[in-house]
A and B are shown apart, each in its own frame.
Chain A
Amino acid sequence: MSTSVAMHMSDGLLNATTSMLFIGVAVVGLAVAASRARATLDDRTAPMAGLVAAFLFATQMINFPVLPGVSGHLLGGALAAILVGPWVGALCVSIVLVVQALVFADGGITALGANITNMALIGTAAGFLVALALRGIAQRGRVGLVSVAFIAAVVNTVLASLGFVVEFAMGGETSFPLGAVAATVVGVHGLIGIGEGVITALTVGAVAAVRPDLVYLLRGTQRPLELRTAEGVAA
């Protein structure tokens, strides 16, 4: 039995020119992200960011049913952006996509640029911008944070899938009525977005319950941690 468990765009959906164009977009986007990421990475957040990438890899393996015969899985842009910020978050999602394409034969190699553009750049940016716009609500308490995480994740999923529609319109390898493609892709990803929202909300909620200081979106609202470390920490 070899039902493909491929989760991302495979090679041969987009023509060579368009694939190359989006490899360029991905390289430029990641270079910008890497240069901006430095400012938010330190001895405490660097290990957290590595773990977020590892967690995304694990969670992307879990396809959940959305319709009869159709599944979906986490993309992770909003999750990463809320926990480690947009720049580091985009790098986290990208590293996962690179590992999947090069080691697990999941997601085409020439399609990697488009996959990174959609899930790592568009998804993370969309998730982060929504979360940023609603930060006031997120900082009000756990319910607020979890709700914002859910909404940001739904938007991240739908916009990432729209990225595919745009790429297909620019240079699909086959001709197919664009309206039908857009309706199917965006419709299904609206449903997947609900799953993405639930997973993102649960994860962000759990991290915030234990280590709110590690939630990027909550930065600047925490009381200094030193108040707590003074007790019970062996010298």
Chain B
Amino acid sequence: MRKRGFFVGFLLVALVIAGAVSYLADSDPDGLDHATLVGCQVVEVDGAERLTGNCIAQRARDHQLSSSPLADYAVGGDERSTGMAGVLGVLLTLGLAGGLFWLLRKRSTT
């Protein structure tokens, strides 16, 4: 029981981080994005963001899947749903990774 308890606790922590703490995340560009944007300005043209100036990200393309249902950690583009998107992501990652590792594991002989 003790064993199972730790795993359940670990999952709950991940769910709380993705489902609730995620609302507190800083929305500024991260270090890599920042570095690729040095020298450029983001301007809005017809509602779409464009880069002007000279920077590494100048030729960066929009994500091919930017209109997928969970794009940018929001359900259907609704930013209020970040927590829900995060919870789904945690469960999906757990399912994929857990499934893969369970298949890869050494079978116990008992």
A46 to B33: give the CA distance in the assembly, Å.
Answer: 34
CB neighbours (8 Å) of A2 from chain B are 49, 72
Q: Does the CB pair B63–A10 fall under 8 Å?
A: yes
Q: Does the CB pair B31–A54 fall under 8 Å?
A: no
CB neighbours (8 Å) of A207 from chain B are 10
Q: Does the CB pair A59–B17 fall under 8 Å?
A: yes
Number of residues of chain A lying within 8 A (CB) of chain B: 85
Q: Does the CB pair B102–A50 fall under 8 Å?
A: yes
Closest to A228 in B: B2
Q: Does the CB pair B30–A54 fall under 8 Å?
A: no
Contact pattern, B 9-28, Cβ under 8 Å of A = 1, otherwise 0: 11101110110011011111
Q: Does the CB pair B28–A41 fall under 8 Å?
A: no
Smallest beta-carbon distance A57→chain B, Å: 4
Q: Does the CB pair B14–A51 fall under 8 Å?
A: yes
Chain A 68-96 residues near chain B, CB threshold 8 A? 69-73, 88, 91-92, 95-96
Interface residue? B36 (CB, 8 A):
yes
Q: Does the CB pair B30–A105 fall under 8 Å?
A: no
Q: Does the CB pair A176–B56 fall under 8 Å?
A: yes
Q: Does the CB pair B101–A70 fall under 8 Å?
A: no
Q: Does the CB pair A51–B35 fall under 8 Å?
A: no
Closest to A185 in B: B35
Q: Which of B10, B30, B38 is A51 in contact with, Cβ under 8 Å?
A: B10
Closest to A182 in B: B35
Q: Does the CB pair A91–B97 fall under 8 Å?
A: yes
Stretch at the interface among A21-29, A145-153, A188-196: A188-196
Chain A 46-75 residues near chain B, CB threshold 8 A? 46-59, 61-67, 69-73
Chain B 20-79 residues near chain A, CB threshold 8 A? 21-22, 24-36, 38-39, 49, 54-61, 63-66, 68, 70-73, 79
Name B residues whose Cβ lies closer than 8 Å to a Cβ of A. 1-3, 6-7, 9-11, 13-15, 17-18, 21-22, 24-36, 38-39, 49, 54-61, 63-66, 68, 70-73, 79, 82, 85-86, 89-94, 96-102, 104-106, 108
Name A residues whose Cβ lies closer than 8 Å to a Cβ of B. 1-13, 34, 37-39, 41-59, 61-67, 69-73, 88, 91-92, 95-96, 99-100, 102-106, 108-109, 161, 164, 168, 172-174, 176, 180-181, 184-185, 188-189, 191-192, 207, 210-211, 214, 229, 232-234
